[in-house]
Structure formats: structure tokens, C-alpha cells
């Protein structure tokens, strides 16, 4: 068994007004795993993500990334290791051209010149957006912006890719294109999503979060087939979608 790529232990966090959001979240992810984080609105999923790279500091508990604890002295290296793609690409893409935006992360880590350019070109190629490097982000479609947002994080060569609602607001074709991109990446992946078929398609393992805790953790197909568990956590499959009818050959395989 390899050392966890990400380990979260007893994480607790309350907003300044005292509202508790995380109430002892516990889980770990091994290198190469693809894990979906499911749960209703307000479960604490996005708050949890902001702890993974030290944006928020927990009231109790700890986060470890590939053996490195998240603390003020390690936060710069942690942020290189944990690449977060936020829900709204307009929050992620703030520079005046795609090229500058993709270069922003690695440049913050001292990458310059030809190496920086190579990172930009490779990251854009990974998401199939080679031709847009010199365009301003706001002139891209929403689906294109989201793929570029993934590229901005890939250029930092992270060890874990964390995606917050990657398929939200996407038309079916863009959703499919992004799924193809994500399926082709050889990287540890944690994906927050309400899109349950997307989770089943891309992640062999899923966790359900509710009331600030991980309440279920297991193979995605099994969790989605557990009607009682789903109902208790305000999760619903789309009308007509039955995970039992998905062919095993179409399901993603665990790396281990």
C-alpha cells in the first residue's frame, strides 16, 4: 500500500459567526486514485477543498499532502502540489491572455523562459486548447474557459488535481470534451460534483459528505446504487439513469 497522496484527519472548521461547517472530516487518497466527493449543498465540500492547500486554516485536525503537513511554513510547496480548479472559470482566469494566465502559476514558482513556455504549451495541449494561447479569456466559450482553467493548474505540475463542480453549466458536448480531457490525465484526482453520472464515468471511488463529515466511502457504482444512502444525503440520480445498467467495461478502473 503506497503512502497517501492526500490525508485529511479530523478536520473541523467553523465560520467566524460560529456556524460549524466541517465536523471531523476524515479520509485519505492514494496516488493515482480518482475520487468523487458527493454531497448536498451546504455539506462543506468547497470549504474542505479550501483547506487542502491552506487557504483556510482548520480549527482542529490536519491535512497532509504526500507526507507534507499543511502549515504556514509549507504552504507554498503545498499549493504547487495541490492544484485546485475553481467552479467559476472567471474566478480562475484573471490575466489578460490565456498564455499569461497559464504561465501565472509556474512563474510564481520561479519558472522562466523556454521552460515556462514549454509548460504553457504542454498544459494547453493536454486540454486540447493549443490554439487560444494569445486570446483573452473572456472571448472563449464557457466550456473552453473551463478547460483553460484546468490547464492553468496543470502547468504547475501538481500531484493532486482538485476540481470543484467541473461539469456545472456546461453544454453536453463541452461536458463530454472535458470528461475526455480528465480521463486522459494521469494524475491523482479529487472531483467535487453534483453530476452523479459524471462521477460514475470518471471516478472508481466516491465519498459522500454531509453535515461536515464523510458519511460514506466506497466504489462509486455501489454508493449510487444504495437508494437509502442516497436519499438520506439528498442525492438523486437523473430520471431514467440506473448505475446498474452501465456496462462494467464503460466504468473507470481503479489504478490499484
Partner 1 sequence: MSVGHAHALFVHGHSRVHRLPAHVKLVALVVFVVAVVATPREMVGAFALDAGLVSGAAAAAHLRPRSVARRMLIGAPVLAGALLMPVVGAGARVDVGGLWLSLDGLWGAWSVIAKGTISLAASIVVTAATPVPELLAGLTILRVPAVVTAIAGFMVRYLEVIAGELRRTRVAMASRGYQPTFAWQVGPIAASVGALFIRSHERGERVYDAMVSRGYQGRLPQLSASGASTRDWVCALAMPVCAAAAATLAVIR
207: which 3 cell numbers? 465519498
Segment near partner 1 (CB under 8 A), from 134-142, 198-206, 217-225, 226-234? 134-142
Residue 59 · residue 13 · CB < 8 Å: yes
Exactly one of 30, 79, 147, 213 binds partner 1 (CB under 8 A); that residue is: 79
- Quote the CA–CA distance of 127 and 209 in Å, as a whole number: 29
- Quote the CA–CA distance of 106 and 88 in Å, as a whole number: 21
What x/- string results for residues 143 through 182 when contact with partner 1 is judged by CB under 8 A?
---------xx--x--------------------------
- Residue 212 beta carbon to partner 1: minimum distance, rounded to whole angstroms: 20
- Residue 132 beta carbon to partner 1: minimum distance, rounded to whole angstroms: 9
Segment near partner 1 (CB under 8 A), from 101-109, 203-211, 216-224, 248-256? 101-109
Residue 42 touches partner 1, criterion: CB under 8 A: no
Q: What are phi and psi of 85, to 5 degrees?
A: -105, 115
Find cell 482548520 and name the residue. Answer: 58
Exactly one of 94, 118, 125, 236 binds partner 1 (CB under 8 A); that residue is: 94
Segment near partner 1 (CB under 8 A), from 59-67, 80-88, 170-178, 215-223? 80-88
Segment near partner 1 (CB under 8 A), from 16-24, 34-42, 89-97, 237-245? 89-97
Cβ neighbors of 148 (< 8 A, separation 6 or more) are 89, 93, 98, 101, 102, 124, 127, 129, 132, 137, 140
Site for partner 1 in 190-249 (CB under 8 A): none
Please choose, from the candidates 75, 139, 136, the residue with its C-alpha nearest in 3D space to the C-alpha of residue 109.
Answer: 75
What is each CA distance from 1 to 67, 101, 199, in whole angstroms? Answer: 14, 37, 24
Residue 35 · residue 191 · CB < 8 Å: yes
Residue 188 touches partner 1, criterion: CB under 8 A: no
Please choose, from the candidates 189, 171, 193, 223, the residue with its C-alpha nearest in 3D space to the C-alpha of residue 41.
Answer: 193
- Residues interacting with partner 1, by CB under 8 A? 50, 53, 55, 76, 79-80, 82-84, 86, 88, 90-97, 100, 103-105, 107-109, 116, 134-139, 152-153, 156
Amino acid at each position: 500500500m503506497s503512502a497517501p497522496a492526500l490525508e485529511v484527519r479530523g478536520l473541523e472548521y467553523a465560520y467566524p459567526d460560529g456556524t460549524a461547517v466541517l465536523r471531523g472530516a476524515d479520509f485519505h487518497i492514494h496516488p493515482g486514485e480518482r475520487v468523487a466527493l458527493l454531497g448536498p449543498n451546504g455539506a462543506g465540500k468547497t470549504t474542505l477543498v479550501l483547506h487542502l492547500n491552506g487557504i483556510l486554516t482548520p480549527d482542529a485536525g490536519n491535512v497532509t499532502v504526500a507526507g507534507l503537513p499543511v502549515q504556514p511554513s509549507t504552504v507554498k510547496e503545498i499549493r504547487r502540489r495541490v492544484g485546485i480548479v475553481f467552479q467559476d472559470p472567471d474566478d480562475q482566469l484573471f490575466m489578460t491572455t490565456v498564455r499569461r494566465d497559464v504561465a501565472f502559476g509556474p512563474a510564481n514558482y520561479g519558472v522562466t523562459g523556454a521552460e515556462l513556455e514549454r509548460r504553457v504549451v504542454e498544459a494547453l495541449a493536454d486540454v486540447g486548447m493549443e490554439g487560444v494561447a494569445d486570446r483573452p479569456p473572456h472571448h472563449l466559450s464557457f466550456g473552453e474557459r473551463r478547460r483553460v482553467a484546468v490547464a492553468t493548474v496543470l502547468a504547475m505540475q501538481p500531484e493532486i488535481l482538485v476540481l470543484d463542480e467541473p461539469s456545472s453549466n456546461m453544454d453536453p458536448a463541452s461536458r463530454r470534451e472535458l470528461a475526455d480531457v480528465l480521463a486522459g490525465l494521469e494524475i491523482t484526482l479529487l472531483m467535487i460534483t453534483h453530476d452523479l453520472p459524471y462521477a460514475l464515468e470518471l471516478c472508481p471511488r466516491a465519498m459522500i459528505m454531509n453535515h461536515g463529515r464523510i458519511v460514506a466511502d466506497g466504489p462509486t457504482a455501489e454508493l449510487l446504487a444504495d437508494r437509502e444512502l442516497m436519499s438520506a444525503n439528498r442525492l438523486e440520480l437523473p430520471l431514467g439513469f440506473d448505475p446498474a445498467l452501465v456496462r462494467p467495461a464503460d466504468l473507470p478502473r481503479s489504478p490499484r
